[in-house]
Amino acid sequence: MSDDVVDLSATAPPAQLTTEYCIIGSGPAGATAARLLAERGRDVVLLEEGGDFTGRALTQRDGAMYDQLYMDRGGRTTEDMSIAVLQGRALGGGAVINASDVVPIPPAVLEHWSRRFGIPGLSEAELAPHARAALEDLRANPIREDQLNLANRLLREGAQKLGLRGEVMDHNRQGCIGLGTCLIGCPMNAKQSPRLVAIPAALAAGARVFVRARVERVTGAQREDKTVVCRALDAKGYHAGARFELRAKTVIVAASAVGSAHLLLQSGIGNPHVGRNLMLQPQLPITAIFEREVDAFRGIPQAYAVTEHETADAERGLWGFRIEAIMGTPGIVSTLLPWIGAEGKARMSRYRHIAASLLLVPDEPSGEIRRGPGGRPIVRYTQRDNHRARLREAIKVATRIYLAAGAREVVVPCHPPLLLRSEADLSSADALDFAPATVPLLSAHQQGTVRFSTSRSQGGADPDGQVWGTKRVYVFDSSGYPSSASSHTMAPIITTARALTARLS
């Protein structure tokens, strides 16, 4: 814990807190805005609901880390429990627990936003300096060949045997020693997340940063002075304690596409578009079983992506699918396998032989955020037929890749499990309908719930991120994206947050 970060579970909240800029959420968008505004000499307060975790506080243990680093203690799902909605809840936001992939917004997506939605100010040329700065913020660099673990090499080997296009991704690690637990934080502080870059810079420039500070609502959105109503949380973030208020001229909401929309809804701010147009970019985990020990839990879990079937064009934006290696610690892997009982234990006893991939399928808006009980959001989402069809195709392609790489079988975690051992088995994937709560879909890149628009009849915020109908209440995160920005949203969010902050007068 930095001495400069105020932990409200250990310190009484200030009685009177006023600021020019109150930023809610400390992930890539909020931390970036806080840094840039503070460096401009503005008075900034940054509020984060989660705790502050760096170094050895990140214990590499599933139970404690999912509990502390993820929203709803790792248990957030869509309302029908079909899709696990993975979101960071810590200083630095989702960048503390993501796979560290740096994938900028494809130019064709920006062209799509311009043509289809008419959004000004986000063209490739206009964003270029911000995109470059985002890569510098992240210390982005290519994953080296010697950093590819066997699981990633097997995915590449299979793809290359089939002549499929793929790439080793860029990442934001420095000094990585391959601990492999990126999804529950890096105790080596190798991830150059906002926690380690933008937030220290913001603090150095005079920003005030509070953790364990839950914002319950914002009032006075149409007035010059807004009131941000907050509660201090306990040390684990489980229970709310003292209530306090903050007054600000400008409020920037950067609490994720779920959290930002939910806060606006709780506050009664914005038009009927707020909360709509949710994209979850649902991903399906599959596992390949090899005779040899793969030990995928060591090294960088997600380094290679098969991009052959991913498309981006001005008409549709990001589409198709990509296949990316992934791996987790035993606890989380066990939740993604479809067996229980003695068979489940037998399968987990082969943990060292597992390679896994995520089938990442960009979606179109198909969900919404609603106010839920206990101050938690309801995430509603309906999977579309075209998404199911691409998932089925992705299963077939991934299976061919893994079989070409020597896998004994590929497991689709439905019930009963679908085991694919040869080309002849692939047609059985056609019967998968992905009915709710039948496969463990997950979402790590939520977008779109306060869509940027040129008219208040088409979205929740104007092209500068100002929520329609408010005076200086903004959304700066992926809530504003009208379509999927990228297969990985960290770099895009920093890019657009930089652009939006630069425009802020």
Which positions lie near other proteins, rule CB under 8 A?
A: 56, 59-63, 66, 73-75, 79-81, 177-181, 187-188, 236, 238-239, 293, 297-298, 329-335, 340-342, 344-346, 348-352, 373-374, 376, 378, 382, 414-416, 418, 428, 430-438
- What are 231's two structure tokens? 């509660």
Report, in Å, the least distance between residue 436 CB and other proteins.
Answer: 6
Report, in Å, the least distance between residue 335 CB and other proteins.
Answer: 5
152 versus 487: smaller Cβ distance to other proteins: 152
Report, in Å, the least distance between residue 28 CB and other proteins.
Answer: 25
CB 357 within 8 A of CB 328: no
Report, in Å, the least distance between residue 435 CB and other proteins.
Answer: 5
255 versus 429: smaller Cβ distance to other proteins: 429
Q: Give the list of residues 6+ apart from residue 153 with CB closer than 8 angstroms, or none.
A: 304
Report, in Å, the least distance between residue 168 CB and other proteins.
Answer: 22
Largest distance between two CA atoms of the chain: 69
Q: Give exposure, 50-79, as e/b (b: 16+ Cβ within 10 Å).
A: bbbbbeeebeeebeebbbbbbbeebebbbb
Report, in Å, the least distance between residue 325 CB and other proteins.
Answer: 17
351 versus 452: smaller Cβ distance to other proteins: 351
Question: With left for phi above 0 and alpha for psi between -120 and 50, is residue 235 left, alpha or beta?
Answer: alpha
What single DSSP character describes residue 173? B
125 versus 342: smaller Cβ distance to other proteins: 342
| φ and ψ at residue 228, rounded to 5 degrees | -105, 115
β-pair partners for 467: 461
Classify strands 213-219 and 166-168 as parallel, antiparallel or unpaired. Answer: unpaired
152 versus 478: smaller Cβ distance to other proteins: 152
73 versus 217: smaller Cβ distance to other proteins: 73
- What are 71's two structure tokens? 């929203």
The separation between CA 381 and the C-alpha centre of its own chain, rounded to angstroms, equals: 17
Report the 10 Å Cβ neighbour count for 226: 23
| φ and ψ at residue 135, rounded to 5 degrees | -65, -35
SS3 per residue for 419-459: EECCHHHHHHHHHCCCCCCCCCEEECCCECCCCECCCCCCC
384 versus 503: smaller Cβ distance to other proteins: 384
- ∠ CA 207-195-53, nearest 5°, is 115
Nearest residue to 492 via CA among 97, 173, 106: 106
Distance CA(294)–CA(352), nearest Å, equals 6
Report, in Å, the least distance between residue 354 CB and other proteins.
Answer: 10
Nearest residue to 303 via CA among 163, 160, 146: 146
Report, in Å, the least distance between residue 13 CB and other proteins.
Answer: 21
Report, in Å, the least distance between residue 35 CB and other proteins.
Answer: 29
181 versus 484: smaller Cβ distance to other proteins: 181
CB 470 within 8 A of CB 221: yes
442 versus 475: smaller Cβ distance to other proteins: 442
Report, in Å, the least distance between residue 341 CB and other proteins.
Answer: 5
Chain position carrying tokens 């990140």: 58
Coil, helix or strand at residue 249? strand
80 versus 225: smaller Cβ distance to other proteins: 80
